[in-house]
Amino acid sequence: MAFPWQRRDIPPELAERVPPGQVLTDKFPVLHFGRVPDYSDLSAWDFRVWGEVEHPFTLRWAEFRALPTAEETHDIHCVTRWSKLDTRWEGVPFTHLAEVAGPTAQARFVIFHAEGGFTSNVPIATAMQPGCLLAWNYDGEPISPEHGYPMRAIVPGPYFWKSAKWLRGVEFSAEDHLGFWERNGYHNKADPWKEQRYSAG
* The pLDDT of residue 105 is above 50: yes
pLDDT tens column, 28-63: 888 766 788 899 999 999 999 999 999 999 999 999
pLDDT tens column, 120-146: 999 999 999 999 999 999 999 999 999
Output the pTM of the full model: 0.91
pLDDT given for residue 33 in this prediction = 65
**DSSP secondary structure string, 88-118?**
EEEEEEHHHHHHHH-B-TT--EEEEEEGGG-
Question: What domains are there in the chain, each with its CATH number?
Answer: 45-169 (3.90.420.10)
pLDDT given for residue 51 in this prediction = 98
Residues of the chain with pLDDT > 90, as a percent, come to 83
Burial of 19 (0-12, 13-18, 19+ CB in 10 A): middle
How many angstroms separate the CA atoms of 13 and 56, rounded?
45
Mean pLDDT, residues 17-25: 92
How many angstroms separate the CA atoms of 44 and 25, rounded?
36
**CB 18 within 8 Å of CB 193:** no
